[in-house]
Structure 1
Amino acid sequence: MAKLVLGLDIGVSSVGWGIIDEKTGEIKKAGVRLFEEANRNANEDRRSFRSARRLKRKR
């Protein structure tokens, strides 16, 4: 039975993968999965307003 190695490349909006035969170095399979980039949501808006309030209070 061949020893296989799984390699992953995890990015912000994608995951790349490859399976390599450890003995021969042959690439058996490879691929990539793309995701939609996250949109700015209400939580980020609240966080920025809260940070501004706290910064203002410290002055």
Structure 2
Amino acid sequence: MASAKRRSEIHALSIEDGHLRFDSSDGSVTLLCQPGFLAKYQLPSKASYPSKFQVF
């Protein structure tokens, strides 16, 4: 079950140029959030971190 925080983070992921990165060395995909996105309890002074997924 996803929390509201996780749901908003998933919704904010972007596939625009520069936000989607493939790494052929380990078969992973890194996604960045849309610019200006703040998670529910994130302070504006702290940047959001990229999400990295392993491709099976």
Do the two structures share a fold, i.e. TM-score over 0.5? no
| Largest Rg, 1 or 2 | 1
The structure richer in helix per residue is 1
TM-score by length of 2: 0.34
TM-score by length of 1: 0.33
The structure richer in strand per residue is 1
Q: Which one has more relative contact order, counting CA pairs under 8 Å at least 6 apart?
A: 2
